[in-house]
Chains A and B, each alone.
Chain A
Amino acid sequence: GENVEQHPSTLSVQEGDSAVIKCTYSDSASNYFPWYKQELGKRPQLIIDIRSNVGEKKDQRIAVTLNKTAKHFSLHITETQPEDSAVYFCAASIGGSYIPTFGRGTSLIVHP
């Protein structure tokens, strides 16, 4: 089955800095890569996703890049703000399947 590795497990940055979270996956058949943000005490919510037919996608301060050859994808957050502090999960799912495999999560802390 699919295996998703996520790094780092904890990331601490100063407000205004950029943050990058990286994930690798094992199955080259995976074609859908969502990212979820979970604020303290709340449910995980989708913040951005990418499918394997594109290499990059942006939404304001967040972007996701995908390298199919290397089988890794990354979340980039620019101009971080304290409200970006949360746990971020990456996931990958194989074409035709609807079952995502999650990374273990990254706790992002943005210091004011």
Chain B
Amino acid sequence: DVKVTQSSRYLVKRTGEKVFLECVQDMDHENMFWYRQDPGLGLRLIYFSYDVKMKEKGDIPEGYSVSREKKERFSLILESASTNQTSMYLCATSGGNSPLHFGNGTRLTVT
């Protein structure tokens, strides 16, 4: 069974702080994704990566960056957190054109 682990379940940060959200997978999947989930807006893709050190912008990359130094780890970085980045963040992986496997999510509150 695929395991996708997000380091924090809940996180509270202050405006302007630099925030790191970590995601680790154990299935040697090439593709990793970061989504943001907000009520009524569904799942919106922030960034994705199809290989180590490779990254591509999704639909809403503004205010975010990512890092993938190792195949199993994909980090989402909020360079300067703002209140409109308060949201649920979901990491996911896949091994090609196949189902996504999601982590449990990190609920981030920026005050």
Contact = CB atoms under 8 A, between A and B. Distances in A.
Interface residues of A, number: 24
Contact of A104 (B33, B41, B48, B96): B41
B28 to A, nearest CB: 15
A104 B45 contact: no
- Would you call the interface of chain A mostly helix, strand, loop, or mixed? loop
Contact of A45 (B45, B96, B102): B102
A96 B102 CA distance: 21
Given A34-B99, A46-B100, A104-B40, A99 B90 contact: no
A44 B97 contact: no
Contacts of A89: 42-43
B5 to A, nearest CB: 11
Given A43-B90, A45-B102, A93-B97, A98 B43 contact: no
A95 interface: yes
Contacts of B31: 98
A32 to B, nearest CB: 5
Interface residues of B, number: 21
Contacts of B103: 43
B109 interface: no
A6 B40 CA distance: 11
Given A93-B97, A97-B97, A98-B31, A43 B43 contact: no
A61 interface: no
Q: Which 8 A-B pairs have the closest CB atoms?
A: A104-B42, A43-B102, A46-B99, A102-B43, A105-B42, A98-B31, A44-B102, A98-B97
Interface of A: 6, 9, 31-32, 34, 36, 42-46, 49, 89, 93, 95-100, 102-105
30 contacts: A6-B42, A9-B40, A31-B97, A32-B97, A34-B99, A36-B100, A42-B104, A43-B102, A43-B104, A44-B43, A44-B100, A45-B102, A46-B100, A49-B99, A93-B97, A95-B97, A97-B97, A98-B31, A98-B94, A98-B97, A98-B98, A99-B33, A99-B45, A99-B48, A99-B58, A102-B42, A102-B43, A103-B42, A104-B40, A105-B43
